[in-house]
A and B are shown apart, each in its own frame.
Chain A
Amino acid sequence: MIDGEIILYLVLIFSALTVTGLLLKEAKGYEHLMNYIPWLSRISFALLMFDILLLAYYFITSDFTIMYVWQYSSLSLPLSYRISAVLAGQSGTLLFWSFVIYFASIWIAETHRWHNSIVRKTQIVTILCGMFFVVLTIMESPFSTIYAVNPELPATFVPADGNGLNPLLINPWMVAHPPLVFIAYGFATIPFAAAIVNLLTGDARWESIARPWSRITWVFLTLAIAVGGLWAYLVLGWGGFWAWDPVETSSLIPWITLTAYLHASSGYRKNKGTFTTGAPLLAIVSMLMIVYAALVTRSGIFESVHAFGDSSSGTMLIVFMIISLLAGGIPVVKRFFFEEDYPGENIDSSSVKGICSTSTLYYLTTVLFVILAFTSFWGITFPALIQQIEGVKVGVGTEFFNIWGYPAIISLLILTGYCLHREDNITSRKMALIVTVSATILFAFIDIDPAFHVMDHTNPFWTAQPPLYKLIGSVSLLSLFPPILYVLAVTIQRIVSDLRSATLSSRALARRTGVNIIHMGMVLILFGAVMSASFTSTIGASVPTGQIGDYVELEGGYGLKITDYRIEGGPGDRITDVKQNPSAYPVAGITGTVSDIQRAGIFLIFKLNDGSDSIWIASKDVEISPGEEVSVSGSIMHDFESSSTGQIYDYILFTENVVPAKSEDETSWKVYIEVYKNGKVMGNGMAEYIQYKQGDATHPMVDRSLTKDVYAIFQGSKSGNIPLTIMIKPFVNEVWIGVIMFTLGMILILGSELYFKREVHSDKLLNTISKEYQKEGK
């Protein structure tokens, strides 16, 4: 057997050789080294790729002698989930993370044909980061055998089956989520490495290396967060997509700082004299926050849905953060306090100076993003700190993030509108700003609904809030609408004027449209999030199984009809129990072996035996054969005489669904629902509750439309009632549309640069910038 762990050591050796070679080349200028370095680097990448494929192979072939495979896979798992289970635990994700870093490192080197010194320097830092994650992977080795973990196991022992994947992860969105997360995390290494190079050497070309990677990272991180939220919405049955739990929040922090970086670096790009500390610092902070997110999900300080368990990698991640902080922090402090910015700091041709100059507004934007990121960071950090230090639990709920985030968000929105407003006449630009700000302040006092405030006034904690919370909490959410309309109007005006413009090149048009679409997307996301969080109606219902098929009146003009109710798989109800007391089973679910198949007109009648007893089943004509294992559910009749067969059946179960029996470990309850409002159907679908060997999963019914989601949670029933929680959630889909706009907008921006890729990336341009920057005598 090939040992994946030995290969990881080989990766380390080849990487160390690559880094040494690159350092020698940079320091001493040994040109002939460049004959070997690319190959050393390619070999370490190839070895790592082999390792990831090897682990996938172990999963595909269900090799349960590998501890990691045993932990997260089982024979009953379909192939696609067996492959996705490679990223189900932390050692697998660490291996994948290292792989992505090496991929990025080899990609920048190959696309620049190893000729560029800034690329080589960036590669040194990238590979060092990659090596760090390889060491982490070795510590958590995904390749450990069960014999190494449990020395008392005899060498001949091979587990018959694996422990299986957490049922909550058996979902298509969860196949997509981990790769998106770790591709984003891995790609963020390049801007980070380039920023470190800039801070240590002062090389101004770092931004053009970091640019495409920071944008791709941003796209992947956006999608990763969105898919995670969508999964929570569709699988957890929490009834929402965002719960401000430490895991979700920790992934949002690097997103905010990366967004800040994108703004800062765009300022830096336009004038190399501005954001000389801000831009590299934000690239580094984004990476640190990514490592922090990894720490949050796995160190054991916090625990959440990502219950990966305790791990020693936590300490190593803290070490990584400290080293990066020192490597980046010392030059930042030096640059910030001892070097002056350029005097000609304006980043556009506009004549406005002072506080309203574009560069100052850009600066204010990044500062607001940093404040927003810090409130989120502090919200998940200080409770953990207090608990560690004082052993006291502190409650930090949704209202904390709403209250502290709101001032920054509203300021950012207004600033966005003002910055994007394209108007030659400065007076009318200022007028628009003044009107928006006045409307915002005015609307802050308009109370249209107790729930529609920064802090929900129907929240039982509302009256007990401290004065500061009450002050911000009593602001009406209506105040969000003037800035939202402002940004919308301004972006639409920009799009229209860009499309009309005859002078704009197609590249510039694509880029500007991308920028406009992204800002519109932001507005839609805020709108959807605020509306769905404030105006969700929740209706509880409990329908007796006897009323299946009947219309049930609910509060508030709502109504409900359960059109079907099925129990599939699992051991089901025991036939002896059902026969003893049929009235206790209005709907019985039975799994057993088929025998004695008879035809009776349009019906098929057969016997089902579950080991305890046997019972007759009547169903529509289906393809079954004797000896087959099937599950049925339906109602039971006693002493039924069939006119077709002329036989009297003591107990017969009428069913509409005969399905192949799933494994005994899995039972699923399905409710088919129609939801009514004032007598009209407003949504329908199926809500499911599944019990697996390792736990359970709730799949709510979601009927989507542009204005609302009709959402119904069903959490299983063991009595004669079917309990349901129905939620009407307005404008949830605007959030997902916003996310799609984020992605499309950024793809347009990336595409516009790719179109002119040669020009942007050519060494000629890099060298020009380099000369300029030397000329400036920096």
Chain B
Amino acid sequence: MTGFLVRRLLQTLVTLFMVTVITFVLCQVLPGDPALARAGSEGASKELIEAARKDLGLDQPLPVQYAKWMGAMLTGDFGLSTRSRVPVTELFAQRLPVTLEVLVFAVIYALALGIPLGVISALYANTWIDTTGTVIAVTGVAMPQYFQGMLLILVLSVWLGWLPASGYVPPSQGLWANLLGMVMPAITLGSVVAAEVMRQLRSSMLEVLGEEYVQTARAKGVSESGVILRHALRNALIPVVTIIGMRIGRLIGGIVVIEVVFSMPGIGQLLMNSVLNNDFPVVQAGVLMVAVVVTLINLVTDVSYMFIDPRIRHA
């Protein structure tokens, strides 16, 4: 078990290093010149642009730039936004809570909906209940998020007026308002995961229900709910954990769309604006952060296997 953990951690470190290199190279090949953006406008004089370039450290060779960037990052210094001259860490610190909140609610929504629906569809496999579930799930996967988001806004805000159409209220200015604002973004972001959890759980549940140990449990006199919850579900969740892990990673990509559609001042919106403004330090830090989070989620997924599946724990 320790061997597995150590191996897994080393892999994570290698992945993270590759991510920093790719992020750095990507920013080099992006069109647009940060020096130009920094100097002001198209009409800036050559001298002004050169001064800006020097000021930003862009006149140095690439490996030097990379080493400096890495070195600074390891000490927690992600530089200043080339546009606003505000420290990148500060920008992220302001916006991270918004993104995390949406993400957490999306995952809670996905699990709270996907797991019970998956179990129910398996128990009523090939009946109208199961078919209805499948139709909803397929719709959830097939519909683009921005479209789903706009549909929700149309129905819940414009027609029914139950929820605010967009915007973000910090919890400090009203917890209830904050939660109301989270409903639609979380649903929009989480629906794909909910659908996939449901489909995957349905099929693994069906498989597990045919296993002999489920029959053993019934032969012991365990009640049907005990058979399903204690004996079948725990086993059926093992493959689902992978899906959840992979999907949460991809959710972070989807969050850019969500934050734009619902005008939420989170990381996604920050990243999009920074890309449009050639604000390289912010883009680099943002991409890196997303990559780190995804890598860590994968790590957590693998480690969580050990808690669910004793066969891996003792391997």
* A and B from one complex: no
A interface, CB within 8 angstroms of B:
none
B interface, CB within 8 angstroms of A:
none
